[in-house]
Amino acid sequence: MISPQLYQEILDGRRFNPLAVVARCGLRLASIPYGLVVDQRNRQFDNGRREVHRVDVPVISVGNLTVGGTGKTPFVAWLARWFRNEAVRVSLISRGYGAADGQRNDEAKELEARLPDVPHLQNADRVAAARIAIEELETQLIILDDAFQHRRIHRDLDIVLLDATQPFGFGYLLPRGLLREPAHQLKRAQVVAITRCDLVDEAALAKLRAKVKQLAPQATCVEVAQQPTQLLSASGSTAAVEVLSGKPTLACCGIGNPRAFFTTLEQQGVSLVDTRALPDHCPFDRAIMQQLTTWVSEHPSAQLAVCTHKDLVKIASDRLGRLPLYALQMDLCITAGLAELETRLRELLVRIPPE
């Protein structure tokens, strides 16, 4: 099975050997029928041939143009807290991608840890889930997690996140690139949030701002950085991020954009002995944990192991082999466009049904 790192190196052109060139050609051909299906589906929603269901409370969608991580979970948590601070009863709804039968997926577990007072329903039929949230949980506002492509349910605000380090998925649709749909579909968004702005230089950020303005001229543009706040163990103990500074550390993660996580660690002064990128939604089952334990034993100089919060909720252990294990907890910081975003959110407050 091809590793996530090798796949990305093939997609972004870092691999120049004949097999990589052939693979890119094959993937490019495979993206053609995928694009045709996506285009047809979007047209059916645009011209009314596919039904869009409305519910009785405001709905916000938070989604991506690409597969992989864009910092969506911290953004969803920030939105839910914003509305909770306005005394609004919020429910989160997601499809539950990657969840084992009868269990919650990794995003749900992380959001539950961040937002213990906010219900999270996982259901492939998000229209049905929304109606349950309204009728049984007395929900006043719904946040759809990862739903930009889920057009069956009407939304009052469409928010799309672009990762500044990899905004358009190498410029190609799946499987040649990471785009779920063509970049021009960004025109459907009312808010575009550029995440991980702190991981790119100003020239790259200015270029991305201009591209967003071209693709979605009517959208509010927000810029977001993720700030490391603390280290968190599976048992709930915390430590300052500075604990990592200068210590030989092993870092592993099973997220969509592992390079962004490793770069964040480097910016915190972490001395990375080695890194291990696992597939997104990695289950951290017995076989994976044994591989990681062996990996730890191969690096006797390492003093700590670190992962993401999304990984820690599945690993559920304070140790990785012989090493103490911590998650680097990240909080969202909106560095530009906060006032404009809050104006959009307040417009939804007046639409909330009375008690």
**124 in the same domain as 270:** no
Whether 249 and 303 have beta carbons less than 8 Å apart is answered as: yes
**210 in the same domain as 105:** yes
Q: CATH code at 65? A: 3.40.50.300
**270 in the same domain as 221:** no
**257 in the same domain as 174:** no
Among 64, 40, 53, 114, CA closest to 84: 114
Domain that includes residue 299, residue range: 228-330
Burial of 18 (0-12, 13-18, 19+ CB in 10 A): exposed
Structure tokens at 133: 């949230």
Burial of 129 (0-12, 13-18, 19+ CB in 10 A): buried
pLDDT of residue 2: 66
Is 329 strand, coil or helix? strand
Residue 128 resides in a domain = yes
The domain total for the chain is 3
Residue 52 resides in a domain = no
Is 12 strand, coil or helix? coil
**168 in the same domain as 107:** yes
**212 in the same domain as 324:** no
Among 130, 133, 132, 140, CA closest to 89: 140
Q: Provide CB contacts within 8 A for 114, sequence distance 6+.
A: 73, 77
pLDDT of residue 112: 86
Burial of 300 (0-12, 13-18, 19+ CB in 10 A): exposed
Q: CATH code at 258? A: 3.40.50
**289 in the same domain as 166:** no
**29 in the same domain as 99:** no
pLDDT of residue 19: 87
**146 in the same domain as 105:** yes
Among 59, 14, 82, 77, CA closest to 343: 82
Residue 282 resides in a domain = yes
Residue 100 resides in a domain = yes
Whether 12 and 171 have beta carbons less than 8 Å apart is answered as: no
Residue 355 resides in a domain = no
Residue 314 resides in a domain = yes
pLDDT of residue 246: 84
**211 in the same domain as 106:** yes
Strand 238-239 versus strand 220-232 pairing type: antiparallel
pLDDT of residue 349: 96
Using 50 as the pLDDT threshold, list the residues of the chain that sit under it.
Answer: none
Whether 329 and 306 have beta carbons less than 8 Å apart is answered as: no
**95 in the same domain as 68:** yes
Residue 261 resides in a domain = yes
Full DSSP string of 62-89: EEESBSS-SSHHHHHHHHHHHHHHTT--
**257 in the same domain as 161:** no
Cα–Cα distance list, 161 to 60, 102, 193 (Å): 13, 29, 5
For 294-319, write each residue's pLDDT tens digit.
999 999 999 999 999 999 999 999 99
* Separation of alpha carbons 177 and 69, rounded Å: 14
pLDDT of residue 226: 87
Is 52 strand, coil or helix? coil
CB atoms near residue 22 (< 10 Å)? 10
